[in-house]
Structure 1
Amino acid sequence: MVEAWLPDQWNRRFLATGGGGIGGCIDYPTIRNGASLGFASFGTNGGHNGSEGFDFFLNQPEVLKDFGYRAIHVEAEVGKEIVRAYYGRRARHHYYAGCSTGGRQGFQAALLYPDDFDGVLAGSPGVDWLRVVSSKGILAHRIGWPNIDSDSYVREAQWNAIVEAQIRLLDPLDGVKDGIIDNPTMYRFDPEILACGTGVLNDSVCLQPAQIDSVRSAYEPIADSTGKIVYPSWELGANTDVFSKNINATTGEPDLSYTILEDFFRGAVYNSSAWTPTNFTTNDMDFALKVNPGQVNTDGTDLSAFRAKGGKLIAYHGRNDESVTSALSAWHFSGTQSSLNASLAEMHDFYRLFYIPGMHHCSGGPGAWDIGQMWPLGQGTRDSQHNLLLALVAWVEEGRKPDSVIGTKFHNDVVADGIEAQRTHCVYPRRSVWDGKGDTRRASSWKCI
């Protein structure tokens, strides 16, 4: 299904959007945001209805193809014809915007259908989607699940205390005490400091010896069954609910609250309604990669065709992402650079990555996270200096390369309540650093180095 929002005051631009999780729902905040800015805006349900459950994938290879790679291409093809029929002329430029699964879909479009879009905006992109999903099961097992009565199992309440301690200890190291770990990949964390008797955590949540090993394991990268590192470490300071919230509140039995793992592996990978993640291992992850149902995993990094046609790609990722580890975006950037044998300057000619400290998955968080990516906050940031979609437009249509974007934190995340703080966010690998003297709530006090 494709849905169109066609504004009367059209700016001659086309915008396609993606989905989230296991798809099945139109991304209304993004499509509405685009239409409000004058784009002829389109959304898709990814080829099926519903974003929970496994039935819509079970024995449905064509639905899997839609979710994996085809739905965005169909949206682009059909949407362009709708625009021509409705407005009586074609769009001058074609754009895509999506986050999470939508970010993956954006990279898939640039890789497989490079002529569909002139510019792609990909947020928190789950480009290695099957490993993103698998990581939740692997990490749950590393902390003792489903053996919730074992000495090594780390309880949910303990994880809240662990993350709070990380922020308390690491936040001040960037020079600004604001509840944000600017770049968690800079640090290593030894959970032994949280052992009972150290005084860092109180007696109700401090770690016993076997639990220390579990927590240490949780913050190690993921290797495949051959021992090759294939997925980065979980980020320090990020919420762990996707693997630590794993007991059914009603029954008290082991049960992952992150349902995507069970749903997708049941319906798509193993095609079995009886499968459960109770004994999940790296072998399951490797098997999923081998099957790659619906070509869902963005295996390739060779964006040479998209680059050659003049396409521009902007990715952004919150450093406090609680679903897709933010280091994955740096891995993908480096992988693309290697595939193209490109210098950093050559990469920046068509592909730019922005990290947003203090931003959760796609949106939200304690940082200056609003960069115009969604309704309604996007209405408070409607120029290319504060809005990455409009920065992408300026890059595609005027050749203005975005070196930075100003992120905004509204009071209570409500535009009408006014601006709480702003911060300059920098194109990777440059990073945003406080100048040491200005008001940290002002973007002008943050420099790119």
Structure 2
Amino acid sequence: CRIAAQFNTSSNSTAVFELWLPLSSNWNSRFLTVGNGGWAGAVNYPDVGRGLKLNFASMSTNTGHNSSGGDGTWFQYQEQSFDFGYRALHLSVEYSKQIISAYYSTQQSYSYYWGCSTGGRQGFVEVQRFPNDFDGALIGDPVIWQTHEEAWEDYAGIGFYPNTSETFISVEQWDAIHEEALSQCDGIDGVLDGLISNPERCNFVPDTLLCQSTKANSTSCLTPLQLGNLKRLYGGWIENNTVVWPGVPVGSELQGLLYYTNAEVAGSYGLDYYRYAILNDSTWNSTAITIEDVKIAEQVETYGALASAYDPDLTAFHAKGGKILHYHGWQDSVVNTGISSMYYTNVLAHFASLGNATAVKVPDFYRLFMIPEMGHCQGGDGPWVIGAAGQPLESPSNDTMHNALLALVDWTEGGSAPEKIVATKYVNETTGGEVAYQRPICLWPEAPVFLGGDATKETSWEC
């Protein structure tokens, strides 16, 4: 049964959601909400369909506006900002649960969340602000600190406007940068396979890419100005010894090639966000971004409209027995991977600050996994198929070892916390095709290390 609904979120705003219900004889008695991507603006039909295929009652919302995923001009309307930030999804969850109860004459046994990118942010907003909405959340590559993420996109793009600038890095040069990163970092995990299992364990020195005077225009090296721009990306945005946003991870160069070299596209999200959600100035130029703009964004965020999800206080979700399985790809330079480890570290610090009276062990309810060389939510040079939201390929086995959603269900309902997840890389990136190799995905800060034998087998690796 397919149900489409539209409801008022305020006196002058509406939201849409669709709820797909399996036959009573097929329903697994669970409710699954799927998140969105980009600026949303439409129901996430592919992931709703995947949830239905697994016999979940599955729902997605348009987040309170209709647009393409790259159009943020609607931020100029405050009520739509509230809807996108938190309201449309939360209310859609509440209404969906009422419909489920009426349709099946019983309530769902468990409720789950499943989202990546913007969907990751939505998931953290839910567990932070509405802890009773879900029992478990599978959250990937989250835009968890929206005000700072969009500022970084503007800041990072400065070195690439225009493409004739002396700091611009070409497609061919990104290839050379990536090859140098591999030459310095690839073998740390014990095997040379074209993958960097954990960039945090490599002290990459990009100075080796500096052109000699006779090669000043070479595509295989960098001028001093280009090298400075590259170091700026790796180093992140730091102001007064405070991290505004972490740098791109080593190994993500070929994702960066697509993203930063095409700076007009890379900056479009940050441009619309600061123009319409923060500064109310449609003529503002993203190359003018400063820390003062970020401070203004934080003041606007105080009113709750933009719903960043960087609050480390997960005590309410923990108290109700909720579980979070959080993952991020090491080749993601759209939402730099370091933000996930920064947030997890803040959560650890928050619970430690509560003292021994609470004695909460964060991994008992919240676990972070880093995926070697996975791009933004999917793709990339490494193994990336784990049954997660936004992934167009299916795991070779629908079990708790290979499917992260099923691992979350098992943890939430059965208490079996995942120690690792097996990620798959297909030949020709085709579901059902030949498996190129598999690798264990480890609890951060652990990383896979080669034991010997056949490197294509996950059993040849340990965390």
State the TM-score, normalizing by the size of structure 1: 0.91
Report the equivalent of 1:288: 297
Amino acid at match of 1:57: F
Query: Would the alpha carbon gap of residues 411 and 147 (structure 1) be closer, same or farther in structure 2, given more than 3 Å must change?
Result: closer
Conservation of the 8 A alpha-carbon contact between 2:143 and 2:149:
yes
User: Which residue of the partner structure matches residue 336 of structure 2?
Assistant: 325
Residue 392 (structure 1) aligns with: 408
1:214 aligns with 2:223: no
Aligned equivalents of 2:203, 2:213: Cα separation in 1: 19
Q: How far 1:220 sits from its partner (Å)?
A: 1.0
Deviation for aligned residue 1:439: 0.8
2:92 to 63, 75, 87: 75
* Equivalent position of 2:75 in the other structure: 57
CA contact (8 A) 2:216 2:223 kept: no
Residue of structure 2 equivalent to 1:43: 60
Q: Deviations over 1:199-247 (max 9, x none)?
A: 99982342122222222222212124x4422322211121214652246
What is the deviation of 1:426?
1.6
Gaps of 5+ in 2: 1-15
User: CA 1:404 to 1:202, structure 2 compared with 1: closer, same or farther past 3 Å?
Assistant: farther
Deviation at 1:345, TM superposition (A): 7.6
Q: 1:150 to 1:97 in 2, by over 3 A?
A: closer
**How far 1:379 moved relative to its partner?**
5.5
Q: 2:244 maps to which residue?
A: 230
| Aligned-partner Cα distance in 1 for 2:209–2:420 | 38
Report the secondary structure of 1:422's partner residue.
Answer: strand
Pick one of 186, 197, 207 that aligns with 1:182: 197
RMSD of aligned alpha carbons: 2.3
User: How far off its partner does 1:27 sit?
Assistant: 2.5
Structure 2 length-normalised TM: 0.88
- Residue 428 to residue 55, structure 1, CA distance change in 2 (3 Å): closer
Q: Does 1:122 align with 2:144?
A: no
340-349 vs 193-202, greater mean Cα deviation: 193-202
Structure 2 counterpart of 1:250: none
1:18-417 alignment, distance < 5 Å: 18-50=35-67, 51-58=69-76, 60-141=77-158, 143=159, 145-146=160-161, 148-197=163-212, 203-224=218-239, 226-238=240-252, 239-241=255-257, 244-246=260-262, 255-292=264-301, 294-341=305-352, 346-374=361-389, 376-378=392-394, 380-417=396-433
Instruction: State the shift of 1:326 in Å.
Output: 1.1
Cα deviation code 1:161-186 (max 9, x no counterpart): 32333224321232222221111122
Contact 1:372 / 1:381 at 8 angstroms: preserved in 2? no
**Which is further off, 166-175 or 328-337?**
166-175
For 2:87 and 2:299, how far apart are their aligned partners in 1? 20
* Cα pair 2:312 2:343 within 8 Å, conserved: yes
Aligned partners of 2:40 and 2:63 also within 8 Å: yes
User: Cα–Cα, structure 1 residues 115 and 318, in superposed 2: closer, same or farther, change >3 Å?
Assistant: same
Opposite residue 326 of structure 1, the aligned amino acid is T
Q: CA deviation at 1:275?
A: 2.1
CA distance in 1, matches of 2:34, 2:400: 19
Alignment correspondent of 2:4? none
Displacement of 1:122 after TM fit? 0.4
Alpha carbons of 1:148 and 1:407: their partners in 2 closer, same or farther (altered >3 Å)?
A: closer
Q: Which ranges of structure 1 fall in alignment gaps of 5 or more residues?
A: 248-254
Q: Report how many residues are paired.
A: 436
In 2, distance between residues paired with 1:75 and 1:164?
Answer: 47
Match of 1:252? none
CA shift for structure 1 position 109: 0.4
Provide the C-alpha distance between the structure 2 equivalents of 1:132 and 1:328, rounded to a whole number of angstroms: 9
Distance 1:81 1:199, change over 3 A: farther
- The alpha carbon displacement at 1:55 in A equals 3.2
Change (3 A) 1:244 1:201: farther
- What CA distance in whole angstroms lies between the structure 1 residues aligned with 2:381 and 2:362? 31
Cα 1:300–1:310 shift into 2, 3 Å: same
Measure how far apart 1:376 and its partner are: 4.7
SS in 2 for 1:424: strand
Aligned residues of 1:370 and 1:377 also touching (Cα < 8 A): yes
CA–CA distance in 1 between the matches of 2:29 and 2:250?
43
CA–CA distance in structure 2, aligned partners of residues 107 and 262 of structure 1: 24
40-49 or 184-193, which deviates more: 184-193
Q: Secondary structure at the match of 2:235?
A: coil
Do 1:301 and 1:336's aligned partners in 2 also have CA atoms closer than 8 Å?
yes
SS at match of 2:19: strand
